[in-house]
Structure 1
Amino acid sequence: MTATHSFSTLVPDTILDAVESTGLWSDSRIYPLNSYENRVYQIGIEDSTPVIAKFYRPERWTEAQIREEHQTLLKLKAAGVPVVAPMVFNGDSVLRHKNMMFCVSPRLVGQHPEADNLDQLYQLGELIGQLHHTMSAPFVERINVSPLTHMETAANQILMGNGLTEEHQLPEKLKPVYKQQIAKLCDMSKAAIGTYWPASLRPIHGDSHRSNLMLHNEQFHLLDFDDCQNGVAVQDLWLHITQTENPRQQLSEMIEGYETYLPFDLRELTLIDVFKSARVINYAAWLQNRWDDPAFNKAFAWFGSEEYWVNHLNELKHCELEWGEMSK
């Protein structure tokens, strides 16, 4: 890592010192987990099970936003919702070491959901419904979702190529078609939002893809609330749709499970394409925005080539061509 990057000081001794500052005694085993936005490690503990230490990316969230995430998780756990909540040390879960915020959580062992498993999709719907029912009060510190704004901001960032060398930027020859494609998706999104947008937003997980769910002791648990926000219920469901020919079969299973706890407004299905398009655009902008992080250079070495940008444009075109399939 370069000495200037925010995680450059996060060397093994620092990681172990941080964990041991809680009173836990490590056995010096450190195993990095698959996380790039933050840094997450499994830490071996003497005469006990390992724990998970998560070091927050500086300046991404405020301390108040992180505290609200933790308070929510602790309340959910107390209410019997299967989540992984941070551990509390001396009355606090938001910990600091060398000006870096971190938390420690129990390790959960299990399997991620199986794609296309309808029984599991029903269970996932139940879990999301239970989550939304329990998280009734909107977040105060967390962001409110605004997909159209996010799309436009991310697309403008990509077009500007901020922080990228010329070889990684969107090629000039592709910019006209990129602008055209973004404009088309923004127009379609405006139309969908104009047709239906909820009167009020609800607190949601915000990034409930398969890797953030774990089947443990025959029960699904939700992990990693780093992106929790005020949003729309369908945001926590649509990421589990893997079929393109008949997505309603998968949706119906999740919605049936969800309605064990809460009614689901079917008008939200018209917003799936909006969130899908926003996710595709935001992912490319996220890679660009984090390109100064050496971990991204290594893990996403394919980013920024002309082939990458052509594929990105193809993804955006597919978003347009598949528009409406989810809500048929």
Structure 2
Amino acid sequence: MSATHTFSSLVPDVILDAVESTGLWSDSRIYPLNSYENRVYQVGIEDSSPVIAKFYRPERWTEAQIREEHDTLLALQEQGVPVVAPLAFEGKTLFLHNDIYFALSAKLTGQHPEADNLDQLYQLGERMGQLHHAMPTPFTHRISVSPLEQIEQAGAQILAGEHLPQRLKTDYQKQISRLHEMSAAQLNVYWPTELRAVHGDSHRSNLMLHNEEFHLLDFDDCQNGVAVQDLWLHLTQTENPRQQLSEMIEGYETYLPFDTRELGLIDVFKSARIVNYAAWLQQRWNDPAFVKAFPWFTSEEYWINHLNELKSCELEWGNMSR
């Protein structure tokens, strides 16, 4: 059964049956939340607060990888790190229904961080420092980041696909090769000898200000990586990011020293993310949710803009760490 067909089976009755298999009793209210890689719903519970039901995309993570994510979240919660951990029922947090793994968590309300808010950037840095301090050892089952491999594989996937216009392929190949070459040079100088456990996808939507402190959401991409991975996505000023970096690093060092050499990796991660995003859309294009949400993906205008964005990465190379 394909992942697309499996997700298409998530009709309301199936979602409710899955939630109620944990022992909860639903009031039949279901509200889909923004999530494309997985499927996430708010489900009402009789005489109680609603829960968030997350259905994992089949064949993306192994059971061991998901369980390690859950165990990490429960350990972080026990240490007082503000995270949204999975709910346990009879000691279990991961469940299987209709061949799809799912988990439940409490609903959290609040606001996402404000771009360019220096006070909040300090708090974000502080939260990431607390997170990394509480996760001192690398993961056993989760992946380890490899940005050079990501650029190479994502670029090859796009070039082999049917969506990149033929007339752009030669230029695209040259640009990927150039970014790969520049990234390899940076990694050779700045890559650390050891990786650490990180959130891996700590963009603004995965943090929420609740009860006056930032909570970390969605550890679906937690991995072994480097500290700067959990900071650079909050940089919004490409011309002069030093003040933003200063605030985050100052907050981070409330808990841990920050190796400023890692700033030399920001351009590598930025380039890898841009290429990976396009490759991700192409890889998931057989999922109807993607066709509906990203109709512009198959347009020539999108690919021209995507190529120009990669070229701008080269032109801006080094701005983040100056």
Alignment TM class, shorter chain as reference: over 0.9
Quick one: distance in 2 between partners of 1:33 and 1:314? 32
Of 214, 238, 242 in structure 2, the residue corresponding to residue 244 of structure 1 is: 238
1:277 aligns with 2:271: yes
Equivalent residue number for residue 194 of structure 1: 188
Of 304, 308, 313 in structure 1, the residue corresponding to residue 298 of structure 2 is: 304
Shift in Å, 1:307: 0.6
Letter in 1 for 2:241: P
Shift in Å, 1:322: 0.6
Shift in Å, 1:195: 1.1
2:34/2:40 contact within 8 Å kept: yes
Equivalent residue number for residue 114 of structure 2: 114
Quick one: distance in 2 between partners of 1:31 and 1:282? 29
Aligned residue for 1:6, secondary structure, equals helix
Alpha-carbon RMSD across the aligned residues, in angstroms, is 1.1
1:5/1:292 contact within 8 Å kept: no
Quick one: distance in 1 between partners of 2:107 and 2:88? 15
Quick one: distance in 1 between partners of 2:180 and 2:314? 10
Equivalent residue number for residue 267 of structure 1: 261
Quick one: distance in 1 between partners of 2:298 and 2:128? 35
Letter in 2 for 1:170: L
Quick one: distance in 2 between partners of 1:171 and 1:43? 42
Of 299-308 and 65-74, more deviation after overlay is shown by 299-308
Quick one: distance in 2 between partners of 1:277 and 1:99? 36
2:110/2:209 contact within 8 Å kept: yes
Question: Structure 2 stretches of 5 or more lacking a match?
Answer: none
Shift in Å, 1:6: 2.4
Change (3 A) 1:312 1:23: same
Change (3 A) 1:52 1:3: closer
Equivalent residue number for residue 291 of structure 1: 285
Equivalent residue number for residue 160 of structure 1: 160
Quick one: distance in 2 between partners of 1:80 and 1:35? 27
Quick one: distance in 1 between partners of 2:228 and 2:177? 24
Identity of aligned residues (%): 76
Equivalent residue number for residue 19 of structure 2: 19
Quick one: distance in 1 between partners of 2:183 and 2:205? 27
Of 220-229 and 41-50, more deviation after overlay is shown by 41-50
Quick one: distance in 1 between partners of 2:3 and 2:110? 37
The normalised TM-score by structure 1 is 0.97
Letter in 1 for 2:227: A
Aligned residue for 1:302, secondary structure, equals helix
Quick one: distance in 1 between partners of 2:172 and 2:3? 36
The normalised TM-score by structure 2 is 0.98
Quick one: distance in 2 between partners of 1:98 and 1:294? 20
Quick one: distance in 1 between partners of 2:265 and 2:43? 41
Equivalent residue number for residue 6 of structure 1: 6
1:233 aligns with 2:233: no
Equivalent residue number for residue 206 of structure 1: 200
Letter in 2 for 1:323: W
Question: Structure 1 stretches of 5 or more lacking a match?
Answer: none
Quick one: distance in 2 between partners of 1:260 and 1:3? 43
1:47-103 per-residue CA deviation (whole Å, 9 max, x = no partner) reads 111110000000000000000000000000000000000000111101111111000
2:3/2:57 contact within 8 Å kept: no
Shift in Å, 1:4: 6.0
Aligned residue for 1:115, secondary structure, equals coil
Quick one: distance in 1 between partners of 2:142 and 2:236? 29
Aligned length: 321
